[in-house]
């Protein structure tokens, strides 16, 4: 669905922005921050 595509797109954007950070926990926190609840 389009909602799922939006979620995947947001995660891809976060992945691109967090490139260079060595801590995978940072990426997980950013994803959780983008999707509260």
Handedness of CA 3, 6, 33, 28 (dihedral sign): positive
Quick check: 37 pLDDT over 80?
A: no
Q: Tell me which residue range forms the domain holding 18.
A: 2-34
Rounded CA-CA distance 37/16 in Å is 23
- Give how many domains the chain has, as a whole number: 1
State both tokens at 6. 């939006």
The pLDDT of residue 17 is 85
Q: What is the pLDDT of residue 7?
A: 92
pLDDT single digits (tens) 1-34 = 899 999 999 989 988 888 887 888 988 888 899 9
Instruction: Look at residue 9 in the predicted model and tell me its pLDDT.
Output: 95
d(CA 37, CA 28) in angstroms, rounded, equals 14
């Amino acid at each position: 669905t389009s909602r799922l595509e939006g979620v995947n797109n947001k995660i891809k954007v976060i992945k691109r922005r967090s490139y260079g950070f060595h801590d995978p926990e940072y990426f997980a926190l950013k994803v959780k921050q983008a999707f509260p609840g």
